[in-house]
Structure 1
């Protein structure tokens, strides 16, 4: 499918896949094909059915999801950046030298200010605080913060619920801009 650049699912190393699942991408894709995931008329199993088939074949949950997305993209069932519900999303992340509670509050404030909306409530006691910013167009920006070593955090932003005509590269650039706001010195 000719769509956005830079948002195709990352395959990961063949070695890691074989170590985790016992088979290569080509071998798993052949098994899914042989099981009838794509019919002669071009219709295909839904995402959940493909993932469930892989789990039944002994693939662990995360790997089954990963293989399903890569399979769908390789076979033209899903465009890069497309979610199972047909909408599109783009995400970025960044490691910052701030503990999780500080990074979460700062990120929520930066995004809220940029969007002109109130910051969502965050459970700062959670290991991985998160928040959702609902947009007037029905899309959502999801904030997630997780620990990355002593005093460091990974801040991730995902803009989900986008239409098929969304410029995902531009969306990612805007999300990176928002994360750049975390560089502002603390007051």
Structure 2
């Protein structure tokens, strides 16, 4: 099976386990695209997050979608909570210091909201969005979404690279 929440979580949130969901979708979703499947699940009362999760898991299990595949390419994600305020993390994200801890490459910034978000094109392909969320105790969660990656292999490389980069950033700031 694909990597998705366990049966207990699915039952708690939706009232059904994965086998029941997959059997159900096998009966009516075969001819539908992802967006239509998720919409139909929402129409059945499934929350938005769970509708996406169920649709993704079923599509992966049936060979219609690879792990981390989105309609417009692949998406690598990473996050880390760092014992530093958003301003300190923002300085590392939005200045030349970025090149000291981040994966090899750079972002051509298109949107920046200080201490919150930074978005732009990644030099070797795709788009990167970095989100900062203030946490209690002077901490900050940083989340990176590298989207529109061309293939699964590059996605896995970038996922590992961003995880390593956030570990490096945590080491710099703590």
Normalised-by-shorter TM-score class: 0.7 to 0.9
Q: 1:156: which partner in 2?
A: 143
CA displacement 1:111-135 (0-9 Å, x = unmatched): 466535565653236xxx2211313
Among candidates 7, 17, 31, match of residue 14 of structure 1: 7
Kept after mapping to 1: 8 A contact 2:81/2:139: yes
1:48 is matched with 35
1:147 pairs with 125, 128, 134, which one?
134
Aligned to 2:77: 91
Shift of 1:34: 1.2
1:59 corresponding residue in structure 2: 46
CA spacing shift, 1:59–1:118, aligned 2, 3 Å: closer
The unaligned stretches of length 5 or more in structure 1 are 1-7, 39-43
Asked if the contact 1:143–1:158 (Cα under 8 Å) also holds between the matched residues in 2, the reply is: yes
Post-superposition Cα deviations, 1:16-69, rounded to whole Å, max 9, x if no partner, equal: 21111111111112221111x21xxxxx42111010111111111111111111
**Paired residue total:** 169
- Aligned residue number for residue 62 of structure 2: 75
- Measure, in 2, the Cα distance between the counterparts of 1:140 and 1:50: 26
CA distance in 1, matches of 2:98, 2:113: 17
Q: Distance in 2 between matches of 1:65 and 1:169?
A: 21
Please list every run of 5 or more consecutive structure 2 residues that lacks an aligned counterpart in the other structure. none
1:23 and 2:12 are equivalent in the alignment: no
CA contact (8 A) 1:11 1:70 kept: yes
Instruction: Supply the distance in 2 between the matched residues of 1:133 and 1:159 (Cα, whole angstroms).
Output: 10
Higher helix share: 2
Moved over 6 A (4+): none
Deviates more, 1:133-142 or 1:93-102: 133-142
* Larger proportion of strand: 2
Q: Specify whether residues 74 and 185 from structure 1 end up closer, same or farther in structure 2 by C-alpha distance, changes over 3 A only.
A: closer
> What is the aligned partner in structure 2 of residue 3 from structure 1?
none
Q: Does 1:184 align with 2:172?
A: yes
| Aligned-pair CA distance for 1:14 | 1.5
